[in-house]
Amino acid sequence: MEAKHLTPFIDAAAKVLQQYTQKEVQRGSITVKNNMNVDLDITSVVSFSGGIRGNVSYSLSVDTAARLLSYVNPNCLMKPFGTAARGLWARLVEEFLQKAAQLLLENGILIIPSVPTIVTGRQMIFVISSVQTIAVRIETLYGPVEVNIGLEE
Amino acid sequence: MASKMQLYDPFVKNTTDTMAMMAGIKAEVLSAFGSETHEFESLGITSVIHYTGKIRGRFLLDMEPGLALAATQNITGILFNNVRDSMVLATISEMNNIISGGAISALNNVYQLGLWLSPPYVFTGHSCLIALPKMQSASVDCMTQYGRLKINVAFERGE
């Protein structure tokens, strides 16, 4: 997997989160996973096709979601990760992908993202790629968001 | 343009055919397609694949753990007892790829939709709730001797 294909998905999420929270966010180091065990409660997966094909997921805990989303929209305070929070998280993830698509297009790569699927649960394990998955944590003031990227090459 | 029912049918046919041919498991369709709410609980192991073209959408294959284990055992010839095993997850994911590939080919041949598949993903966990905001979907329930199977299909207009 080439860095120029991966970094737009991470940079895009960091920029959108920073824009909405109006606080600095920090990117952790990149790790390679053969199995994608998710110890966070909420995962949103988006598929994309076009110049590159694959899946990208964004995961966070219920506590992080409550803090982050209620800052972005105070209506999400009323019910932890209820319908309003899910809709807002889906919208944010769509914005991550729009931004990533824009960054990739600047490098001459066109992608077509899907609508996000949101999965909540405990002790989840995902396989988003038949090869390797690249993982990065983005630290926000409200808690970490884990990004996993699986590209088919 | 085809009706949604005409778009859904190849997914059901390819699911029952693939389940029979690959895994030797007969899946009996219990009902006609019914509208799904925006969220539903996973039966145990779920694989999802997205497609895009003149229209875009998503196919979801959801099954009980016993069925996933039996299908994997029948396909690979190896006994598994944990759906979290990577071979079980990979097998269900590949089944989804084959089912969707067949369905998409049929739809492209008949309706010239120019659909392309994204790579599938698969997951399992405890009390998994699946939500797909912004997309209406419909489901068919199936029964096999090893457990239940749900086929869920969604389409929306492309760009």
Q: What is the pLDDT of residue A30?
A: 85
Write the pLDDT tens digit of every residue in A40-54.
Answer: 899 999 999 999 999
Give the whole-angstrom CA distance, residue B115 versus residue B104. 6
pLDDT tens track for B51-62: 988 888 999 999
Dihedral angle sign, alpha carbons of residues B61, B66, B69, B71: negative
User: What is the pTM for the complete model shown?
Assistant: 0.92
- Average pLDDT over chain B reads 92
Give chain A positions within 8 Å (CB) of B42: 119, 121
- Partner-chain contact B133 A87, CB within 8 Å: yes
Nearest to A152 among B90, B119, B128 (CB): B119
Q: What ipTM was estimated for this complex?
A: 0.90
> How many percent of chain A have pLDDT more than 90?
65
- Report residue A34's pLDDT band, with 50, 70 and 90 as the boundaries: confident
C-alpha dihedral over B91, B95, B97, B98, to 10 degrees? Answer: 130
Tell me: the pLDDT tens digits for B70-126? 999 999 999 999 999 999 999 999 999 999 999 999 999 999 999 999 999 999 999
Of A55, A57, A121, the CB nearest to B118: A55
Cα dihedral A72, A76, A77, A83 in deg (nearest 10) = -160
> Higher confidence at residue B46 or residue A133?
B46
Contact B90 A123 (CB under 8 A): no
Q: List pLDDT tens digits, range A112-122.
A: 999 899 999 99
Does residue A131 sit in helix, strand or coil? Answer: coil
Give per-residue pLDDT as tens, A75-109. 766 567 788 888 899 999 999 999 999 999 999 99
Q: Which of A5, A46, A47 to mutate to test the interface with B (most CBs of B within 10 A)?
A: A47
Q: Residues of A near B (CB-CB distance < 8 A)?
A: 35, 38, 43, 45, 47-49, 53-55, 57, 86-87, 90, 112, 114-130, 150, 152
Model confidence band, residue A37 (pLDDT cutoffs 50, 70, 90):
confident
Report the alpha-carbon distance of residue A71 to residue A85 in Å, rounded. 11
pLDDT at B28: 97
Alpha-carbon span A106 to A112, nearest angstrom: 15
| pLDDT level of residue A38 (50, 70, 90 thresholds) | confident
Q: Is residue B46 predicted with pLDDT exceeding 90?
A: yes
- In one-letter notation, the amino acid at residue A77 is L
Residue B159 is predicted with a pLDDT of: 46
Q: Which residues of A touch B128 (CB under 8 A)?
A: 119-121, 124
In whole angstroms, give the CA distance from residue A30 to residue B23. 38
The pLDDT value given to residue A85: 86
